[in-house]
A and B are shown apart, each in its own frame.
Chain A
Amino acid sequence: MLKIDRSHVDAMIAHARADHPDEACGVIVGPAGSDDPVRLIQMINADRSPTFFRFDPSEQLKLYREMDDADEEIIVIYHSHTATEAYPSRTDISYAAEPQAHYFLVSTAESGADEGPVELRSFRIVDGVVTEEDFEIRE
Chain B
Amino acid sequence: MAVEVRIPTILRTFTGGEKAVQGDGSTLLQVIDDVEARHPGLKDRLVEANGLRRFVNVYVNDEDVRFTGGLGAPTADGDVVVVLPAVAGG
Which A residues are closer than 8 A to B by beta carbons? 23, 25, 27, 43, 47, 51-55, 57-58, 60-61, 64-65, 73, 77, 79, 88-92, 95-100
Please determine whether B87 and A88 come into contact, CB atoms closer than 8 angstroms.
no
Please determine whether B90 and A61 come into contact, CB atoms closer than 8 angstroms.
no
- Interface size class on chain B is 10 to 19
Neighbour of B85 across the interface among A65, A73, A91, A98, CB < 8 A: A98
What separation, in Å, do the CA atoms of A67 and B67 have in the docked complex? 24
How many cross-chain pairs have Cβ atoms below 8 Å apart between A and B?
68
Which B residues are closer than 8 A to A by beta carbons? 8-10, 55, 57, 59, 62, 64, 66, 82, 84-90
User: A55-B86, A55-B88 in contact; A95/B55 too (CB < 8 A)?
Assistant: yes
Please determine whether B62 and A91 come into contact, CB atoms closer than 8 angstroms.
no
